[in-house]
Amino acid sequence: MGDAAFWAALLAKMLASAGIVVLASLAVERTGPLVGAMIATLPVSAGPAYLFLALDHDAAFLRDSAVASLPAIAATALFIAAYAALARRHGVALALAAALAVWLVSALVLTRLGLGLAGGGAAAVLVILACIALCRSLRVTGPLPSRRGRRRDILIRAGIVMSVVVAVVLAGRLAGPGAAGILAFAPVVMVSLAVILHPRLGGAATATVLILSLPGLLGFVAALLALALTVERLGPALALSLALLINVGWNGGILLAGRPRPRA
């Protein structure tokens, strides 16, 4: 932990991850809500975190981290549902604080259940589907409002994601794969979007973007299951590539299914 090379590598990881998330969140603001939601559910935060874990640990560690990440995915769906329910009538601070409390408690509870790979995957899918059904009435129809951003918004996003990268890397070294897996799927992008968009677009519009991202979480579940099942057989490089392909393909399918069809 005291090695200068470790801290230099950690700084490089922080800057690289921050750049990825900042670019993704900027793209969200310049697209429609569905496209933005699918960008938000790409592994722009978890992907770099898992890449850095693969550089520091073996395949068994990655498998255990993938299993530990499944409760975090289910907790993220509950985070979105809690934020969407509160954001329409309350400010960003209260809505986010309550939603993050829901995420933390639910992630810890689901982790303590020790459901394993199959049970954790099934529980995550059921929670996500339930949140999709519950949040359907909270969505706003029509185009979202558009306003110019501020330069400090970029610094806020970069600061959030760099903090999570530090937490994931240190957790992997100090606390093992369980903590690293949970923190790798902390709702970094969701929090960044809420912090930036809520004051500018309003709680209802921001909640709509997050609600539309719920189906994308199912792609995360599929990617984690694939990673856990293949990383010890194929190796980290191929297994992570397969997980990324599954995630991107799932979101691309959602975009194609949601594309407006021309009238006859």
Lowest mean pLDDT among 112-121, 157-166, 247-256: 157-166
Residue 198: inside a domain, yes or no?
A: yes
Give the separation between CA 84 and CA 194, rounded to whole angstroms. 10
Residue 1: inside a domain, yes or no?
A: no
Which one has a higher pLDDT value, 162 or 150?
162
Overall domain count for the chain:
1
The rounded percent of the chain whose pLDDT value lies above 90 is 33
Give the closest residue to 189 by CA, choosing from 217, 169, 222: 217
Give the separation between CA 182 and CA 89, rounded to whole angstroms. 30
Residue 223: inside a domain, yes or no?
A: yes
What does the pLDDT read at residue 185?
77
Reported as a pLDDT band with limits 50, 70 and 90, residue 227 is very high
Find the mean pLDDT for residues 30-41.
76
3-state SS assignment for residue 259? coil
Mean pLDDT (the chain, rounded): 81
Distances (CA, A) of 107 to 27, 47, 78, 186: 29, 19, 10, 10
| Residues 233-251 pLDDT 10s | 999 899 999 999 999 999 8
Question: Exposure pattern of 231-258 as b/e (b: 16+ CB <10 Å)?
Answer: beebebeebbebbbebbeebbeebeeee
The rounded percent of the chain whose pLDDT value lies above 70 is 80
| Residues 196-208 pLDDT 10s | 778 777 788 888 8
3-state SS assignment for residue 247? helix
Residues 222/251, Cβ–Cβ less than 8 Å: no
What beta strand segments (E) does the chain contain? none
Task: Look up the domain containing 29 and give its range.
Answer: 8-139+148-257
Residue 12: inside a domain, yes or no?
A: yes
Residue 264: inside a domain, yes or no?
A: no
Q: How many residues appear in the chain?
A: 264
Residue 175: inside a domain, yes or no?
A: yes
Residue 263: inside a domain, yes or no?
A: no
| Residues 141-158 pLDDT 10s | 655 555 555 666 667 767
Please give the full DSSP string across 39-67, using - where no structure is assigned.
HHTSSTTHHHHHHHHHHHS-HHHHHHHHH
What does the pLDDT read at residue 243?
92
pLDDT for residue 127 is more than 90: yes
